[in-house]
Amino acid sequence: MTSRQTTSEKPKYFDLDIHGIGYLNRVREVTPENGSPFLSVTIAALRGPADNVQHTHFDCVVSGEEAKDLVRQLMPAVEADMKVLVGFHLSDLQAEAFTFKQGERAGTTGIGLKSRLLRFQWIKVDGQPFLAPVARDAIA
- Asked if residue 45 is part of any domain, the answer here is yes
138 confidence band (pLDDT: 50, 70, 90):
very low
- Asked if residue 39 is part of any domain, the answer here is yes
Q: Within 10 Å of residue 86's Cβ, how many Cβ atoms? A: 27
Residue-wise pLDDT for 103-115, tens only, equals: 999 999 999 999 9
- Asked if residue 37 is part of any domain, the answer here is yes
Read off the pTM: 0.82
Contact 93, 16 (CB under 8 A): yes
- Asked if residue 11 is part of any domain, the answer here is no
- Asked if residue 50 is part of any domain, the answer here is yes
DSSP conformation class of 52: G
72 confidence band (pLDDT: 50, 70, 90):
very high
DSSP conformation class of 50: G
What CATH number corresponds to the domain at position 105? Answer: 2.40.50.140
Q: Give the end-to-end CA distance of the chain in Å, rounded to a whole number.
A: 41
Whole-number average pLDDT of the chain: 89
Q: Which of 46, 53, 49, 50 is nearest to 22 (CA)?
A: 46
- Asked if residue 140 is part of any domain, the answer here is no
Contact 30, 37 (CB under 8 A): yes
- Asked if residue 77 is part of any domain, the answer here is yes
**How many domains are contained in the chain?**
1
- Asked if residue 123 is part of any domain, the answer here is yes
Beta strands in 48-127 (DSSP E): 54-62, 84-99, 109-125
The residue segments making up the domain with residue 73 are 17-128
DSSP conformation class of 76: H
